[in-house]
Amino acid sequence: MADLIAVKIDDRRVQEVLKRMETALANPRPMLAEIGEDLAASTKQRFDTGTAPDGQPWAPNSATTMARFLDRKELKTKKGKLNARGKRLEAGKKPLIGRSKQLAHTITYLLRGNTLLVGSPMIYAATQQFGAEEGAFGADKRGHPIPWGDIPARPFLGISDSDSRSILEIARRYMKVP
C-alpha cells in the first residue's frame, strides 16, 4: 500500500471557503430543496418546448396517436370533419401532452435524507422517458400487445446546461463561495 501524503493548507482564504462549504453541507436540505424547485420548473418547461434536456426535439406524435386524440364528438362537425376547436387542438398537439396533462402537472421533487429526487408518480412516466417497444409489457387478456405500438423515448427528466449553471449558482450562494 502506498504511503499517504498530507497536505496542509496555509491559505486563509481557502480555509475560509472550505469551512463555509463544510457548514453548508452539514445540512444540505435547504440547498437541495431550492435545486429541486428549479429542476421541477425546468422539467415542466420541457413540456412546452417539446425538447429533451440536451435540447433535442421529442419525436412527433404518430398518426394513430393524433387520430385517437381527435376522435371526440365535441371536436367534429355533423359531417365528421374536425371543427374549428378540433383544428386548433390538432395544430397545437405536442408529444406527451394528453387531454389531462397529468404527466406535466405531476412533476415534483422529493427529498429523502440528503438525496434529491425529481420525477413524476405517474405509472407511465418511465415509458415516456425511455420509450418501449410493441409488446414490451406483455399482452392483454385478448392477446393484444402492450403497448400496441412502439413508443419512442421522449426524455423529459435530466440536467440541461442551463440546469447545471443554476445548480452551481445555488450551491455557490449556499456555500457563500465567490
What ranges do the domains of the chain cover?
14-57+100-175, 61-94
CA distances from 38 to 31, 51, 140, 160, 163 (A): 11, 17, 40, 12, 8
User: Model pTM?
Assistant: 0.72
> pLDDT tens track of the chain, all 178 residues?
445 555 555 667 777 777 777 777 888 899 999 999 999 999 999 998 999 999 999 888 776 766 676 667 776 677 877 677 666 665 555 555 555 578 999 999 999 988 999 999 998 899 999 999 988 999 999 999 888 888 899 999 999 999 999 999 998 888 776 5
Kindly state the cell numbers that stand for 31: 440547498
